[in-house]
Amino acid sequence: MSKGLLISIEGPDGAGKTSVLEALLPRLKEVYPGQVITTREPGGVAISEQIREVILDVDNTAMDAKTELLLYIAARRQHLVEKVLPELEKGNMVIMDRFIDSSVAYQGAGRGLEQTEIAWLNAYATDGHKPDVTLLFDVDSETGLKRIAANGEREVNRLDLEKLDMHQRVRKGYLDLAMVESERIKLIDASQPFDKVIEDAWQIIKSYL
């Protein structure tokens, strides 16, 4: 078992998880005895960032759903072994912006790929490592999509271009998963005012410190 703390943050597009993380970072650094590392999927290390380019390229409209899944899984494996596990080994806190649950929600519930196969691939890529805690930022799909559209700075990627019903399936996929893994996955209502969302996230993380 690793010595550090592994936290993942998850949620449908437009839930605001990345902004919440940025807001919480100074507080976390203040209280955590080791270093606090933030990283993201797909990406986080050079090889996985290259895979990310391929996955999210808006011109790759021909990409098959299983190809998409396998690319996310490959990016996950490299990022985990090259960066995440070594940091945990040093006793650091690693906060991952997306991890295993994104495959379940997006490629499973969203694209309709077989969940047992996704679970197997996730376990294969991670050697069974799971986060100590996962914060799931939940927001209804209409609000999420409106937030993305309103955020002019954010680059639109291939998955953002999916229709409303795909986003709705992704959200439901997350909520179903949170019921099954309620010990690990903590649900946060991300439609609340930003300060309240930050406070809810802080209270949960605090209990793991």
Count interface residues toward ligand TYD (CB under 6 A): 15
Considering the rule CB under 6 A, would residue 2 count as an interface residue with ligand TYD? no
Sign of CA dihedral 6, 10, 156, 109: positive
In the list 23, 37, 45, 159, the residue contacting ligand TYD (rule: CB under 6 A) is 159
Q: Where are the beta strands (DSSP E) in the chain?
A: 5-10, 36-40, 93-97, 133-138, 185-189
Write out the binding residues for ATP: 11-18
Phi and psi angles of residue 94, each rounded to the nearest 5 degrees, phi first: -120, 125
- Among residues 157, 168, 181, 184, which is the contact residue for ligand TYD, using CB under 6 A? 157
Known binding-site positions: 11-18
Task: Let me know: does 111 contact 64? Beta carbons within 8 Å.
Answer: no
Nearer to ligand TYD, 98 or 169 (CB): 98
Site for ligand TYD contains 103 (CB under 6 A): yes
Q: Are 97 and 9 in contact (CB under 8 A)?
A: yes
Q: How far is the CB of 43 from ligand TYD (least distance, A)?
A: 7
**Beta 93-97 vs 185-189: how paired, if at all?**
unpaired
Give the x-and-dash track for 107-136 against ligand TYD (CB under 6 A): x-----------------------------
| Residue 98 binds ligand TYD, judged by CB under 6 A | yes
Dist. CA 11–CA 31, nearest whole Å: 25
Site residues for ligand TYD per CB under 6 A:
13, 18, 40-42, 56, 72, 97-98, 102-103, 106-107, 157, 159
